[in-house]
Chains A and B, each alone.
Chain A
């Protein structure tokens, strides 16, 4: 058995792990990163990136379909067709390019990549099953970055027509009838994409609302667009199982009655959970916080020299959070004094009408004990939004009533994901309403809505 030694071992090459490794390499730390799949983790291989590729393709196709009918732009086009296998191949190409990009970055920063699934023997030792046999790695410090996996419903085990988000990103043809279980952001993003590509989509959600982490003001434009796309959303409805043939989902409606929903594919997206098994975590006996590894503000676990980052440490399970944690831990290992002191971990939902949130929502701000001022500016009053046929949605700013410090910013609307940068920057810099109101925002852009929302909160919006 071959043996390796290093100062830092990173278990898992997802966005948290590979960023930690790159930063450690930059700092001259002798680093090894271990992963059994191509570097990039869930995000790059079966998450953020491929889903956005699919969403883009679906939007383009839907536009083309839209132009076959009567439309305000006066464009007419003949009926388009979609070769999904070609779309998937294009998406795989992007993933492949990014995989080799990450591999290149690791190499450039002198990080050793060991391909294989690793298992922690103790807090300093990892055995990796590689194609060339087992490799033992001895490390002074370890970062656990094993990520998360889709939650499985016991009565609906994955296989056959029952698929997770991973499979949904690699279908060879558009399913005629797609039933999505779970009205969270993953289910709605994929459901919307398939609806645009021609599937008849039904969303089954056990709770009373979709996107339950957001307030209804924010989700309303999304719900409207789901309806417009012909997606049936069954709220308060529980998935019970599949028919014997596997061609229909059995659900229990709010009245307690069972019914069957015909389905060529059943996509289960009821959340993700930390990946805590198959890498020796149980042997480390780390303190857990429920089902995730407990960490402090330095991402330290209960064992000295063992850090945990990303989805393994719980919500919010977002790639950019993991990246920031990874960067920080690498600096801590190099001897720097760092704590995770971020004000904002923005979240984006790539539904039709994207949702961006940064900082505190109005309800969260109230719950935190703040007296607040709220300014909301609708895109219906924004010139640029009109010219993009994207008048639904708004920008909303939450600020402290006593000193106008901005506590949170939310937006919903077409393409608002890119506004997240401005929102987070404002929060991290400690901006007050006056700072945003006093910044010239280019005309005509949707970002003017941000400035106007701040002006509105101050009581003197100009364009409403």
Chain B
């Protein structure tokens, strides 16, 4: 007798998880091939899961209503013969990680070993010839020269000395050479700089990554983007921010510049409401929203996620900072709910200190505007007949050009710029 594990099937269209809506079997049931085991629902459809084999239900994972990641084991059957349990367990744990434990490693992963060993072993098949051109390199087939202590250390570290560059007389490998190799500071003998690395690693694009890929491709394929960049003098708002942080009451969150930008977006949207909408291009309809729900692009261990700050128009900058922090943490630790990841009407994208000078944000479809934040930098600015140091930040923003004309886009950003450069106006009720 073996165990046959059945995984949540890939129901297509970039779906990474599905809801179990019905169990048709219970533990102990004897079932035949093609019997329906369960029904699962995605955003778009309900799908029945048939049994691929004859067997007895040994275990059921999850309750009706549970969201379950594609690839996670949902039913275990006892079957004649070996079953597939061994091959499934390692595979199934990766998608599961997206669902609940983003940081956990598959149980079957071998004990962690120093990275250089893997590098050496992966590269090995690709090393076809070791060049003897330089005097310090070893000729083909020549034994590496090293003292017994170095040899022992290398063996313990899993390093093959024939790949280690020796800097000593006659190419002798010292402890320092070994350290350099292990730390990655020295290229392996016959390594990348000498020999073409023809290895190809096959990585399945699944789960969140596939969803991201599909959404990005869809957005870029269907939406004609227009990207507009301007610089904003944030000296005043940065001064205000510093002051507010210095005088913060207990319990108030530390402010970044993002809530100020969100506040500026909320005000600018009042003047340019078309930017806060969803475009249903299938039905030639634009849904213009009254409430401002700002999607906040966040990097998580699994990839890009966009948690949503709902009704930003009702929040103070501190309120937005609190909510942004809570959502970012939830996204990072995987506790974020589906509701918190959907329903944004406009998106704010920031890479923080990695913000660069310019970016070309991709629309978070079906939205029509995305505001990208580049890094704040002290730059010399010509003002009143001389250069003065000012804190400058670029905003790189993209728009759906089918709905938003370049003129409108520019006006919207200039409005935001005006608000940020005169921060008092951020807090004046219109």
Cβ A432 vs Cβ B170 within 8 A: yes
Q: Do A403 and B170 touch (CB < 8 A)?
A: yes
Pair B169/A432 contact, Cβ less than 8 Å: yes
Given contacts A336-B156, A337-B155, A405-B145, contact A430 B168 (CB under 8 A): yes
Query: Which of B146-154, B179-187, B214-222 makes up part of the contact surface?
Result: B146-154
- Docked pose: A351 CA to B155 CA in angstroms: 39
Interface string of A422-449 (1 = CB under 8 A from B): 0000001110101100000000000000
Residues of B within 8 A of A338 (CB): 155
A336-B155, A337-B155 in contact; A403/B169 too (CB < 8 A)?
A: yes
In the bound assembly, the distance between CA atoms of A430 and B135 in angstroms comes to 16
Contacts A336-B155, A403-B135 given; does A429 touch B147 at CB 8 Å: yes
A247 on the interface (CB 8 Å rule)?
no
List CB contacts (< 8 Å) of A338-352 with chain B. 338-339, 341
Task: Give A432 to B172 CA distance when docked, in angstroms.
Answer: 10
- Taken together as a complex, chains A and B put the C-alpha atoms of A403 and B171 apart, in Å, by 9
A163 to chain B, nearest CB (A): 41
Would you call A404 an interface residue if the criterion is a C-beta within 8 Å of the partner chain's C-beta atoms? yes
From known contacts A400-B170, A405-B170, infer whether A430 and B155 are also in contact, taking CB-CB under 8 Å.
no
A404 near B169 with CB under 8 A, answer: yes
Determine whether B83 belongs to the interface, using a CB cutoff of 8 Å to chain A: no
Q: Which residues in B have their C-beta under 8 angstroms from that of A341?
A: 151
- What band does the interface of chain A fall in when counting residues whose beta carbon is under 8 Å from B? 10 to 19
**How far in angstroms is the closest Cβ of chain A from B416?**
61
- With a cutoff of 8 Å between Cβ atoms, the chain B residues found around residue A429 in the complex are 147-148
Q: Please give the distance in Å from B400's CB to the nearest CB on chain A.
A: 59
- B356 at the A/B interface (Cβ < 8 Å)? no
CB distance from B145 to the nearest CB of A (A): 4
Q: Are A337 and B146 in contact (CB under 8 A)?
A: no
**Residue contact B151 to A430, C-beta cutoff 8 Å:** no
Q: Which of A336, A339, A428, A430 contacts B170 (CB 8 A)?
A: A430
Q: Which residues of A contact B156 (CB under 8 A)?
A: 336-337
Contact present for B169 and A434 (CB under 8 Å): yes
Question: Is B158 part of the binding interface, using a Cβ–Cβ cutoff of 8 Å?
Answer: yes
> Cβ of B155 and Cβ of A339 under 8 Å apart?
yes
A435 to B146, CA, bound (A): 14
A428 CB contact (under 8 Å) in B135, B148, B155 = B148
Complex Cα spacing A387 to B172, Å: 39
A58, B172: Cα distance in complex, Å: 45
B203-248 contacts to A (CB < 8 Å): none
CA A434 to CA B172, docked complex, whole Å: 14
Q: Which of B77-135 contact A (CB under 8 A)?
A: 135
Whether A435 touches B158, Cβ cut-off 8 Å, given contacts A428-B148, A429-B147, is no
A429 CA / B146 CA spacing, docked (Å): 6
**Contacting B147 at CB < 8 Å: which of A403, A430, A434?**
A430
Residue of B nearest to A343 (CB): B143
- Please tell me if the beta carbons of A430 and B145 are within 8 angstroms of each other in the complex: yes
The residues in A between 341 and 365 inclusive whose CB is less than 8 angstroms from any CB of B are 341
Whole-angstrom CA separation of A405 from B156 in the bound complex: 26
Residue of A nearest to B158 (CB): A337
Chain A residues with Cβ under 8 A from B148's Cβ? 428-429
* A435 & B155 in contact (Cβ 8 Å cutoff): no
B169 near A435: Cβ-Cβ < 8 Å: yes
Contact in complex: B147, A428 (CB < 8 Å): yes
CA distance A428 to B172 in the complex (A): 11
Interfacial residues of chain B within 170-206, with CB under 8 A of chain A in the complex: 170-172
On whether the beta carbons of A430 and B146 are closer than 8 Å, the reply is yes
For residue B256, give the distance in angstroms from its CB to the closest CB of chain A: 49
Q: Which residue of B lies closest to A342 (CB)?
A: B148
Which residue of chain B is the closest to A405 with respect to CB atoms?
Answer: B170
Nearest A-chain residue to B145, judged by Cβ = A430
CA distance A402 to B155 in the complex (A): 29
Minimum C-beta distance from B154 to chain A (A): 9
From residue A433, how far is it (CB to closest CB) to chain B in Å?
A: 10
A336 to B158, CA, bound (A): 10
Measured in the bound complex, the distance between the Cα atoms of B151 and A435 in whole Å is 20
* Chain A residues in 8 Å Cβ range of B171: 403
Which residues in chain B, 308-365, are within 8 Å of chain A measured between CB atoms?
Answer: none
Q: Within the complex, what minimum Cβ distance (angstroms) separates B140 from chain A?
A: 12
In the assembled complex, the Cα of A404 lies from the Cα of B171 at a distance in Å of: 11
Which residues of A are found within 8 Å of B155, using beta-carbon distances? 336-339
Chain B residues within 8 Å of A403, by CB:
135, 169-171
* Chain A contacts with B in 301-344, Cβ cutoff 8 A: 336-339, 341
Closest CB-CB distance, A437 to chain B, in whole Å?
A: 12
Complex: how many Å from CA A337 to CA B168? 25
The CA-CA distance from A336 to B152 in the complex, in Å, is: 10
Bound-state CA distance A404–B170 (Å) is 7
Shortest distance between the CB of B134 and any CB in chain A (Å): 12
Max chain A C-beta neighbours (<10 A), residue from B147, B169, B170, B172: B170
Closest to B135 in A: A403
A341 to B151, CA, bound (A): 8
B291 CB to nearest chain A CB (Å):
63
What chain A residues lie within 8 Å of B158 (beta carbons)?
A: 337
Q: Nearest CB to that of A428 among chain B residues? A: B148
Q: Could you show 10 A-B contacts with beta carbons less than 8 Å apart?
A: A336-B155, A337-B155, A338-B155, A339-B155, A403-B170, A405-B145, A405-B170, A428-B147, A430-B147, A435-B169
20 additional contacts, CB 8 Å, given A339-B155, A428-B148, A432-B169? A336-B156, A338-B155, A341-B151, A400-B170, A403-B135, A403-B169, A403-B170, A404-B169, A404-B170, A405-B145, A405-B169, A428-B147, A429-B147, A429-B148, A430-B145, A430-B147, A430-B170, A430-B172, A432-B170, A434-B169
Residues of B within 8 A of A (CB): 135, 145-148, 151, 155-156, 158, 168-172
Q: Which 8 A-B pairs have the closest CB atoms?
A: A405-B170, A403-B170, A430-B145, A430-B172, A432-B169, A429-B147, A337-B155, A428-B148
